[in-house]
Amino acid sequence: MEKKRRPSANTLALRQVVHLRGNRFPTWHQWKELPRFLNIKERRIASIALAICIFSSATIAARTVFSHQTLTPAVGGSYIEGAIGTPQYLNPLYATGSDVNADLTRLMFSGLMRYDGVSGLVPDLANTVTISEDQKVYTFTLRDNAEWHDGEPVTSADILFTVDAIQNPEYHSPLAASFSGVTVDAPDVHTVIFTLDEPFTPFLAVLTVGILPAHLWVDVAPQNATLAQLNIKPVGSGPFMFSKLVKDSKGSLRSYTVARNPNFYRGTVYLNDITMKFYGDLLELTDAVRNKNVEGASVLTAQDAQGLARDGVIALGTPQLSQFTAAFFQQSSPILADDTVRQALALATDRSAIAAVSTGNSAIPIVSPLLSGMPGFDATILVPAADTAAAASLLETSGWTLAPGATVRTKSGAELAFSITTLDSTELLAAANELRKEWTTIGARVSVIPVDQGTLQNDIIKDHSYDVLLAGERYGAYPDLYPFWHSSQTTYPGLNLCGFVNRKVDTAIEIARTSADPQKAIDAGALLVDAFNEEQPAIMLYQPKYLYALSPKLQGTAVTNVTTPSDRFANVENWYRKTKRTF
């Protein structure tokens, strides 16, 4: 009988490694012995396989984690914007006269209502709004979590103080007319009741005015209100609060910084701070954007804005603006008092060409004083193309003839000659020169007179000293026709720049702004359009988009519509640069 051989030590060790003890998986001690039985090549292969296994497992784990996470805004980061001019009154009572005042005031103050760039008019400091059946009594309950930047709660006493200050002639607030005939009462700290002498449909839009902190302003004498330091270092209840200002060696304000309000009642404010730098004119501001001294700008020309956006220097904000640009006729002018002349000029006007040459196609050509979204607006009305042949024929048949070899029409010895006055800006000058070219083709002698802002406001508009005024007007949060087309507004500071007078339209506008029936506003709009087409007191040209520059790194900035430039900050608390991952 052959004797059995005893297994070697290595054989025993190998059996130990591979022995599974029934159905059990190898132990860690057994796995550690495995490398002793692999050659160099096998060890390399095993190492690579192990690395692949670990990497694959990590990748699967990471993907699983990331698939259950979402990128959300995080607090942090700053934003620097350039603006034209310098702030003087960061006070809601006086901020309406300057865009830079309005911008900073919008960042630091809140009103009972606010204009949201997507939803329109919505409550702000107000929690609820109730309007009586007769449209004369407005009852507001206030949020219970709104605080001033110094930590004091916002109460009904603050609303009472603000309205009283606006109505007090010693404060000289330009908003006083908006609160004429309005009384306000506060039965408790969270309730405010406004009572109107008569219904006024746009009243909620009036209440977007920022509220002042009564506990800080009560000790400031009304006659000293414009001198108070609170006008430049204000305390508000908005998403940002005053942080610092920087002056140059001559005392001129160069920059102004606001910091996030950590206790803002509408929710988390993400940007740490916003700084505004101030420039003397549009050229300086555009250079600052191009040289990246600022990340954005409150306003740019269409050409510069579109070029900088194409180069990736800025992201371009282009919300629709509740504004129109028009050529207003001075009907007391001997030439333009002729209905036929105005109709002929309208026929010869190429609105699409004017919109393109002045705004780089960043505007919608229009033919009606009603803009899209306004009561009575008819989207089926098409903007007509220019018809110079019809315009020339109309002038010819009404006695405005061209002598052989002449380029300017005459009638009874008078030339068809007049001027276009406009603001000395790239956009409006381009539009004025295009109009001159178009009207010259039908036999008119047209000159263009550019003027600065001060002259335009204080002399030209105030005295109605123009033949044709090429200018823009802005409707506001509520499209109230009264300031622009009612006959009572033909004298300064009224905005009826073409002296349009139509008693039927007056009556319809008056009824619309005092009625809760939306059909009344539609009727007023329809009457205005019909009278406008018949009398041609102005030529509606285009509705511009508001072009402004933003940092390409900013997110959450989308705004669909604005009524004023400061509306770009409607949801500024949602702007962010940093993100975090959350489950």
| Structural contact between residues 318 and 555, judged by C-beta atoms closer than 8 angstroms | no
CATH fold group of domain 320-544: Dipeptide-binding Protein; domain 3 (3.10.105)
The alpha carbon torsion through 399, 404, 405, 410 (nearest 10 deg) reads: -20
Q: What pLDDT does 20 receive? A: 45
Burial of 322 (0-12, 13-18, 19+ CB in 10 A): buried
More confident call, 184 vs 476? 184
Is the per-residue pLDDT at 465 higher than 50? Answer: yes
Q: Six-digit token pair at 360?
A: 């780089």
Residue with tokens 């319809």: 508
Lowest mean pLDDT among 37-51, 402-416, 495-509, 555-569: 37-51
| Structural contact between residues 474 and 503, judged by C-beta atoms closer than 8 angstroms | no
Helix (H) or strand (E) holding 417: strand 417-423
Give the C-alpha separation, 409 to 66, whole Å: 75
Label residues 379-406 b or e (16+ Cβ within 10 Å = b).
eeeebeebbbeebbebbeeeebebeeee
Q: Best-predicted range by mean pLDDT among 26-30, 36-40, 53-57, 526-530?
A: 526-530
Give the C-alpha separation, 222 to 416, whole Å: 54
Q: What pLDDT does 67 receive? A: 61
Q: For 80-279, which CATH superfamily applies?
A: Periplasmic binding protein-like II (3.40.190.10)
- 137-165 residue pLDDT tens: 999 999 999 999 999 999 999 999 999 99
Burial of 81 (0-12, 13-18, 19+ CB in 10 A): buried
Q: What pLDDT does 25 receive? A: 61
- Please give the average per-residue pLDDT across 342-357, as a whole number: 97
Give the C-alpha separation, 141 to 237, whole Å: 17
| Structural contact between residues 252 and 86, judged by C-beta atoms closer than 8 angstroms | yes
Helix (H) or strand (E) holding 316: strand 315-317
Is the per-residue pLDDT at 105 higher than 80? Answer: yes
Is the per-residue pLDDT at 17 higher than 50? Answer: no
Cα dist. 574→269, 271, 321 in Å?
A: 7, 8, 21
Lowest mean pLDDT among 140-144, 398-402, 451-455, 504-508: 451-455
Give the C-alpha separation, 490 to 499, whole Å: 5
Q: What pLDDT does 473 receive? A: 94
Is the per-residue pLDDT at 21 higher than 50? Answer: no
Lowest mean pLDDT among 13-27, 98-112, 193-207, 450-464: 13-27
Helix (H) or strand (E) holding 202: none
Peptide bond into 187 cis (omega under 30): no
> Cβ neighbours of residue 277 under 8 Å, at least 6 residues apart?
80, 81, 82, 83, 254, 255, 288, 293, 294
Q: What pLDDT does 321 receive? A: 87
Q: What pLDDT does 15 receive? A: 55
Residues above pLDDT 90, as percent of the chain: 74
Q: Six-digit token pair at 544?
A: 């511009």
Integer-rounded Cα Rg, in Å, for the chain is 34
What's the predicted TM-score (pTM) here?
0.79
Cα dist. 323→60, 259, 471, 473, 545 in Å?
A: 55, 31, 10, 6, 9
Q: What pLDDT does 41 receive? A: 76
- Please give the average per-residue pLDDT across 474-497, as a whole number: 90
Q: Is 128 helix (H, G, I), strand (E, B) or coil?
A: strand
CA angle 233, 236, 237 (to 5 degrees): 150
Q: What pLDDT does 227 receive? A: 94
Instruction: Name the residue among 542, 532, 475 with its Cα closest to residue 325.
Output: 542
Is the per-residue pLDDT at 23 higher than 60? Answer: no
Q: Which amino acid is at 100?
A: V
Lowest mean pLDDT among 27-31, 56-60, 93-97, 525-529: 27-31
Peptide bond into 493 cis (omega under 30): yes
β-pair type (363-365, 410-411):
unpaired
Q: Which amino acid is at 202?
A: P
Q: Calculate the average pLDDT of the chain.
A: 91
DSSP track, 120-159 = EEEESSEEEEEE-TTS-EEEEEE-SS-B-TTSPBP-HHHH
Q: Is 517 left (phi over 0), alpha (psi -120 to 50) or beta?
A: beta
Where in the chain are the domains? 9-67, 80-279, 320-544
Q: What pLDDT does 1 receive? A: 46
- 284-318 residue pLDDT tens: 999 999 999 999 999 998 889 989 999 999 999 98
More confident call, 494 vs 118? 494
Q: Which amino acid is at 385?
A: A
Is the per-residue pLDDT at 37 higher than 70? Answer: no
Q: Is 23 helix (H, G, I), strand (E, B) or coil?
A: coil
- What is the distance of C-alpha 431 from the center of its chain? 23
The alpha carbon torsion through 23, 28, 30, 34 (nearest 10 deg) reads: 120
